Amino acid sequence: MKKSIASLLLGTALAVTTAGAAFAQDKTVKIGALSDQSGLYADLGGPGSTLAAQMAVEDSGLTGKGWKIDIISGDHQNKPDIGTAIARQWFDVDKVDIIVDVPNSGVALAVNNVVKEKNGVYINSGAATSDLTNAQCSPNTVHWTYDTYMLAHTTGQALVKAGGDTWFFLTADYAFGAALERDTTAVITANGGKVVGGVKHPLNTPDFSSFLLQAQASKAKIIGLANAGGDTTNTIKQAAEFGIVKGGQKLAALLLFLTDVKAIGLETAQGLNFTETFYWDMNDKTRAFSKRFAEKMKNSAPPTMVQAGVYAGVRHYLKALEALGGNPHDGVKVVEKMKSMPTEDDLFGKGEIQPNGRTIHNAYLFEVKKPSESKGPWDFYKLVGTVPGEQAFTPLSESKCALLKK
Amino acid sequence: MQALYAQLLVGLINGSFYALLSLGLAVIFGMLNIINFAHGALYMMGAFVAYFLLNLGGINYWWALLLAPIIVGIFGMLLERTMLKFLTGLDHLYGLLLTFGIALIVQGVFQNYFGSSGLPYSIPDQLKGGLNLGFMFLPIYRAWVVVFSLFVCIATWFLIEKTRLGAYLRAATENPTLVRAFGINVPRMITLTYGLGVGLAALAGVLSAPINQVRPLMGADLIIVVFAVVVIGGMGSIMGSIITGFALGVIEGLTKYFYPEASNTVVFVLMVLVLLVKPTGLTGRAA
């Protein structure tokens, strides 16, 4: 009994001293990786995003310098109410400093408000809506990797210029689909094209045949897919079945991820054009990172651009924190520091964060390889063109972000 | 007008999946009194078994149509022997909870190993291509799905309603003690019936593999709709579930044409309407 009281006292004393030390230096950081862990976007973000955040922490070397950095993860199940509930709990109870990833634009925009309210840091990599750095921009938010404006101005523009001047949209019926259709329509009309019709389908639809028949009947040259993940793979697969491409219409997968191509298979996906800002097989640095990443993934998959964005975002965040010497709890201050430093990492190369929170880096137009051209299980893409960041993303002159009107 | 015909046909194709799945559910509910929430997971297993047969064993689609229902059916019979049989005589709720738990575990295991975005399974060479019907381009594979499902549905109905074996089964659910007194092994019949229902789910899974991605959650997405089909048709009614399955596919297809945003909910609206007017479902008898 005496012994246990002594150890209890000792333990308490130890806890007080370590807590005191942490407070003095304020080098305790808690990262929350909020993603779709089990639904249709789980493979492009999900557990892989948590792993990417962990690798960013390890590679930063800060833990060796006495920093204490923890990562927790959560599943928003593609529901904005669940996403915001987790975010609130993380800030209020778990004392999280930063939320990363958050695919699904509906959830992303909802979480954006919570992070602003709690003065945290929000590095979004998974969501596409350009509203995050436009109408709904926030001093606490950095939007990494990609957005709907960029997708529209790369894939969309390239296709219109190649003669695809009439479009029919298959659009996922939530914030992301609406944003992507809106931004792409702007590009199409600006380039002299026309949108002849479209359907809005519910998120996570297993059968697209009805919608594809309508697209076929519209006689549009391009069928624009303003959807993502499992919805896109099902659409492409079923479009092949209905002979859409053989009938002379072209599919525009405005957003396609590495894991989607894997799921469709090269046989069906070959020849598709689309845009990404990261591909594992770009250069020695991306290959080296991807190899390390794949070794830790259960299915040995290399990172998607969303997961790569989580890594790059967390790396930059930790660099900014180190430059500040600690104190991660004032989100606006940390994000300002992040914006003042140029971004540079092995995955996206050199770039910058604009005042509206948009990260600028190169975007790449890819084409899916033929099965005969593929040399390995994840060798899927051919590089068709590179679009410099300034051309790919919203010019500040066009941005409606309130932060720019200071 | 042409587009409307096309939508009707496409609806019929989806309806055939609903019919096959709800048929299995109706068989299991009618004979075992179990609300089999694991049905979606077993449907998914059917698709995965087809994928494994092809990619690990080089066994093609046609054999998978035969083998996958048998393999998954045996798995179902094991479930029945080891777990479900203890539920005999208990409230429906226990069966529902147990099978729901089984579904979550099975889906969780598959998701853990294969991710969520799915695996490709291509249409067998013999069924590739399509027919130009004038009003639409009909993929041959889809036509095959409708014809084959109809055949299976009618065969199952015939087996249960018109054969001696079916008569034993129906008698065994009405009065197991009496049937046992005639020297019939009732527990074995129950196990075989569950295996049959599960096999039907797996068969639907194989049929769907070339159209949809082979995904761990493919059954979870479908099962709620299928339950609505069974409820609308009348719990346990074999013919009711077949007819409602096809009919709802068509109604859903038409909704996708006229008001796509509502296509996920139209089935449930119908369910509410039917239950308001006839609580036992369209063809169900009062208990």
Residue A14 burial (CB count, 10 A): 10
Give which of B116, B146, B259 to mutate to test A binding, by max A Cβ within 10 Å: B116
Is pLDDT above 80 for B247?
A: yes
- Which pLDDT does position A1 carry in this prediction? 46
Helix axes B92-114, B218-233, angle to 10 degrees: 160
Helix (H, G, I), strand (E, B) or coil at A48: helix
| Amino acid identity, position A99 | I
Burial track B14-52 (b if 16+ CB lie within 10 A, e otherwise): bbbbbbbbbbbbbbbbbbbbbbbbbbbbbbbbbbbbbbb
Does ipTM surpass 0.95 in this model? no
State which H helix or E strand residue A253 sits in: strand A250-253
- pLDDT, mean of residues B149-154: 94
Contact A230 B215 (CB under 8 A): yes
Cβ contact, residue pair A267, B120, below 8 Å: yes
Distance from CA of B206 to the nearest CA of A (A): 15
How does residue B31 score in pLDDT terms, banded at 50, 70 and 90? Answer: confident
Average pLDDT, chain B: 89
Percent of chain A topping pLDDT 90: 82
**Residue B110: burial class (beta carbons within 10 Å; 0-12, 13-18, 19+):** buried
Beta strands A363-368 and A381-387, pairing class? antiparallel
Q: Taking CB atoms and an 8 Å limit, are A43 and B256 in contact across chains? A: no
Mean pLDDT for A300-316 is 96
Residue range B4-33: average pLDDT?
88
Q: In terms of pLDDT, which residue wins out, A25 or B70?
A: B70
Query: Taking a C-beta distance cutoff of 8 angstroms, is the pair A245, A253 a contact?
Result: no
Within 8 A of B119 by CB-CB distance, chain A residues are 263
pLDDT tier at B1, thresholds 50, 70, 90: low
* Residue B129: per-residue pLDDT: 86
Q: Highest mean pLDDT: which of A18-27, A333-342, B239-248? A: A333-342
> By CB neighbour count within 10 A (0-12 exposed, 13-18 middle, 19+ buried), where does A267 fall?
exposed
Chain B residues in contact with A103 by the CB 8 A cut-off are: none
Inter-residue contact A358 to A145 (CB < 8 Å): no
- Cβ-Cβ contacts under 8 Å, B7 against chain A: 210, 213
A131-160 pLDDT tens trace: 999 999 999 999 999 999 999 999 999 999
pLDDT at A16 over 70: no
Say what the pLDDT of residue A296 is: 95
What is the four-CA torsion angle of B61, B63, B65, B67, rounded to 10 degrees?
Answer: -130
pLDDT in tens, A50-107: 999 999 999 999 999 999 999 999 999 999 999 999 999 999 999 999 999 999 999 9
Q: What is the pLDDT of residues B170-208, one digit of tens each?
A: 888 778 788 888 888 888 888 999 999 999 999 999 999
Residues 6+ apart with CB under 8 A from B247: B15
The mean pLDDT of chain A is 91
Residue A220 has a pLDDT of: 95
Helices (H), A102-228: 105-118, 148-151, 157-161, 175-190, 209-217
Provide DSSP, B196-218: HHHHHHHHHHHHHTTTS-B-TTH
**Cβ atoms of A31 and A115 closer than 8 Å:** no
Confidence check: pLDDT of B8 > 90: no
Give mean pLDDT, residues B107-130. 88
Spatial distance between the Cα atoms of B268 and B287, rounded to a whole number of angstroms: 23
Higher-scoring residue by pLDDT: A20, A4:
A4
Flag whether pLDDT at A389 surpasses 60: yes
- The pLDDT value given to residue A22: 45
pLDDT beyond 50 at A174: yes
Tell which phi-psi region holds residue B48, choosing left (phi > 0), alpha (psi between -120 and 50) or beta: alpha
Residues contacting A399, CB < 8 A, separation 6+: A133, A134, A137, A356, A358
The pLDDT assigned to A17 comes to 46
- In chain B, residues with a C-beta closer than 8 Å to the C-beta of A200 are 260-261
pTM for this structure?
Answer: 0.85
For residue A394, pLDDT beyond 90: yes
Residue A6 has pLDDT above 60, yes or no: no
pLDDT at A20 over 70: no
Structure tokens, A336: 């300002």
Q: Which residue has the tokens 């009947």?
A: A217
Q: Given a cut of 90, is residue A128 above it in pLDDT?
A: yes
* Token duo for residue B226: 């299928």
Q: Output the pLDDT for position A381.
A: 96
pLDDT band at residue A21 under the 50/70/90 scheme: very low
Residue B119 DSSP class: B
d(CA B57, CA B46): 15
- With beta carbons under 8 A apart, name residues in chain A contacting B253: 210
* Contacting A residues, span 291-330, partner chain B, CB-CB under 8 Å: 298-299, 301
Strands A343-345 and A349-353 turn out to be antiparallel
